[in-house]
């Protein structure tokens, strides 16, 4: 491998939120979808999230041939295959490890991981917090559906306290992770949350995360009405969409009017707030591949200096 | 100036649709409906469509495409798109 003396490639110029591009044109540019349906259950939020991710690629102006995606096992794991990006469908929970490797080897690539909540926060928790700590320029997208969908709906670290799953039929006795707080605590420089019921906002959050230089984390609240919803009184996709719509607020009133997408602003006396959406953390920090390139240059200078003397 | 009513075309792929009910429940002007026995999505009242694209964005199986209908014969797609975006 040659020594990377140059800085990583500059990210593309920011464009206006292009939400008006019809789906078939976007598919031609970014996706490779089967002629028939996707492999998710009918109505699953993963298909909606996938749509938002495609629009976010478009908005961020990325060259899809320069995008590398990574994921592990779960219902979401087929998603990477539906994009024209280069995808690694690896082992469970290792998305961040693959992503870090790819980014270090090829800093000019846009690296995105597509991971489930069980995948990222349970078995992959260590990879996640250490990637966040290093502030490496990757985008981690977590599909939080409150359970392990692919294996039949067992509880995950995100399952809300008291809710029913396959392995907590009398109610979940453990408190849940707040994935965004975990990411902030671990050092992620960009952290955002949105839901599939707010497609324009979700697209904006993912596009901002892709454009962000440094570790970006987006928690996508994605319904699994078939397993979690059915056991918790919301058996239809629309039941869960309404649940997200009715319980979501924006974190701050400093968001410009045209970026609020009609989501109410958080206020203290809000009773039924479950989902605080928006950019929850944003701070400039040194980026890992750049720091590593400096270190490598230093090491090379030492070696070549020694060779001369 | 007279207000020009924009019109849109909505295409639904029967092969892709899996009758999840999201599109016709999310569409406020009730443009969309369903057809038994398979309950696949159909268009009921295209005139009412506001072009909000919610159905297109939220269809989990990517079965719906919304496009602005040609403003007048000869109008290019690029013109239509930039108009719709503004
Ligand atoms: C090393 C390893 N352990 C366990 C499994 C079994 N497994 C497959 S998918 C999955 C859970 C996935 O849940 P999540 O990441 O939340 O994604 P979802 O299916 O809910 O989209 C598990 C435990 C596996 N494939 N590999
Ligand atoms: S099990 Fe749940 S998350 Fe998995 S595809 Fe079905 S609805 Fe979606
Ligand atoms: S949202 Fe899509 S899959 Fe669901 S009923 Fe409508 S067209 Fe069919
Ligand atoms: S674009 Fe909006 S108004 Fe038109 S059919 Fe779709 S949801 Fe209904």
Structure tokens at A271: 């009773």
C-alpha atoms less than 13 angstroms from C-alpha of A299 in its C-beta half-sphere: 9
Q: Does any domain span residue B2? A: no
Residue A63 has pLDDT above 50, yes or no: yes
Question: Looking at per-residue confidence, does A205 or B3 come out higher?
Answer: A205
CA A239 to chain centre: 24
What residues in A contact B84, CB-CB < 8 Å?
Answer: 20
For the stretch B9-63, pLDDT in tens is 999 999 999 999 999 999 999 999 999 999 999 999 999 999 999 999 999 999 9
Measured in degrees and rounded to the nearest 5, phi and psi for residue A129 equal -65, -35
Determine how many CB atoms are found less than 10 A away from the CB of residue A288: 21
**Domains within chain A, CATH numbers bracketed:** 23-308 (3.40.50.970)
Residue B4: its pLDDT value, please? 57
Residue A14 has pLDDT above 90, yes or no: no
Residue B3 has pLDDT above 60, yes or no: no
Mean pLDDT computed over A72-77: 95
- Calculate the average pLDDT of chain A: 91
Structure tokens at A132: 């966040």
Q: Does any domain span residue B72? A: yes
Q: Does any domain span residue B37? A: yes
- Residue ranges of A 269-308 with Cβ closer than 8 A to chain B: none
Q: Which residue of B has its CA nearest to A19?
A: B85
* Domains: count for chain B: 1
Q: Give me the residue label for tokens 């096992």.
A: A73
Q: Do A23 and B64 touch (CB under 8 A)?
A: yes
Structure tokens at A200: 């324009």
Q: How far apart are CA A50 and CA A82, in angstroms?
A: 9
Q: Round to the nearest angstrom and report the end-to-end CA distance of chain A.
A: 26
Which residues make Cβ contacts (< 8 Å) with residue A99, sequence separation at least 6?
A: A68, A70, A111, A112, A113, A131, A136, A138, A140
For the stretch A140-195, pLDDT in tens is 999 999 999 999 999 999 999 999 999 999 999 999 999 999 999 999 999 999 99
Residue A262: its pLDDT value, please? 84
The CATH number assigned to the domain holding B40 equals: 3.30.70.20
Beta-ladder partners of B45: none
Q: How far apart are CA A105 and CA A47, in angstroms?
A: 31
What residues in A contact B53, CB-CB < 8 Å?
Answer: 19-20
Structure tokens at B1: 């100036």
- CA neighbor of A248 nearest in space, from A261, A234, A230: A261
Mean pLDDT computed over A116-130: 96
Range of the domain at B76: 8-85
Residue A265: its pLDDT value, please? 86
Residue B76: its pLDDT value, please? 46
What is the CB < 6 Å shell around ligand 4? B 10, 27, 29, 31-32, 49-55, 66
For the stretch A186-211, pLDDT in tens is 999 999 999 999 999 999 999 999 99
Residue A15: its pLDDT value, please? 46
In ligand 3, which atom is closest to the CA atom of A43?
A: 4
Q: Round to the nearest angstrom and report the end-to-end CA distance of chain B.
A: 18
Residue A309: its pLDDT value, please? 59
Instruction: Give the pLDDT band of residue A9 (cuts 50, 70, 90).
Output: very low
Q: Do A238 and B25 touch (CB under 8 A)?
A: yes
What residues in A contact B21, CB-CB < 8 Å?
Answer: 43, 236-238
How far does residue B25's CA lie from ligand 4's centre (Å)? 10
Instruction: List strand residue ranges (DSSP E) for B1-86, in order.
Output: 8-12, 32-35, 40-43, 64-68
Which ipTM was obtained for this model?
A: 0.87
Beta-ladder partners of B65: B11
Residues A203/A19, Cβ–Cβ less than 8 Å? yes
Helix, strand, or coil (residue A147): strand
Query: What's the predicted TM-score (pTM) here?
Result: 0.91
Residue A287 has pLDDT above 90, yes or no: yes
Q: Which residue of B has its CA nearest to A52?
A: B57
For the stretch A208-226, pLDDT in tens is 999 999 999 999 999 999 9
């Amino acid at each position: 491998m040659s020594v990377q003396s140059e800085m990583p490639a500059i990210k593309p110029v920011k464009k206006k939120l292009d939400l008006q591009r019809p789906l078939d044109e976007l598919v031609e540019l970014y996706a490779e979808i089967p002629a028939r349906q996707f492999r998710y259950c009918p109505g699953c939020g993963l298909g909606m999230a996938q749509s938002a991710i495609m629009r976010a690629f478009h908005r961020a102006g990325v060259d899809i041939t320069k995008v590398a995606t990574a994921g592990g096992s779960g219902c979401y794991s087929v998603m990477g295959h539906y994009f024209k990006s280069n995808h690694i469908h690896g082992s469970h929970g290792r998305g961040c490890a693959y992503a870090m490797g790819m980014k270090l080897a090829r800093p000019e690539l846009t690296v995105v991981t597509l991971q489930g909540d069980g995948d990222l926060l349970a078995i992959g928790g260590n990879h996640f917090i250490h990637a966040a700590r290093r502030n490496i320029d990757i985008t981690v997208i977590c599909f939080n559906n409150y359970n392990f969908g692919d294996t039949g709906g067992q509880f995950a670290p995100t399952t809300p306290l008291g809710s029913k799953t396959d392995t907590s039929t009398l109610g979940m006795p453990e408190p849940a992770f707040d994935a965004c707080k975990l990411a902030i605590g671990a050092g992620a420089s960009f952290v955002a949350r949105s839901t599939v019921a707010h497609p324009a906002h979700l697209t904006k959050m993912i596009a901002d995360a892709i454009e962000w230089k440094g570790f970006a984390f987006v928690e996508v609240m994605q319904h699994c009405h078939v397993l979690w919803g059915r056991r918790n009184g919301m058996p239809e996709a629309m039941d869960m969409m309404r649940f997200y719509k009715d319980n979501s607020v924006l974190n701050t009133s400093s968001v410009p009017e045209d970026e609020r997408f009609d989501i109410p602003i958080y206020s203290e006396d809000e009773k039924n707030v479950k989902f605080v959406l928006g950019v929850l953390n944003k701070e400039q920090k040194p980026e890992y591949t750049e720091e590593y390139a400096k270190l490598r240059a230093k090491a090379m200078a030492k070696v070549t200096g020694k060779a001369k003397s | 100036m007279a207000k020009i009513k924009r019109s849109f075309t909505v295409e639904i792929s029967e092969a892709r649709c899996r009758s999840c009910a999201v599109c016709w429940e999310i569409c406020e002007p009730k443009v969309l409906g369903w057809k038994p026995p398979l309950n696949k999505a159909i268009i009921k009242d295209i005139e009412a469509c506001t072009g909000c694209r919610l159905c297109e964005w939220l269809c989990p199986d990517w079965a719906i495409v919304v496009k602005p209908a040609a403003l007048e014969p000869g109008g290019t797609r690029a013109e239509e798109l930039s108009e719709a975006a503004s």
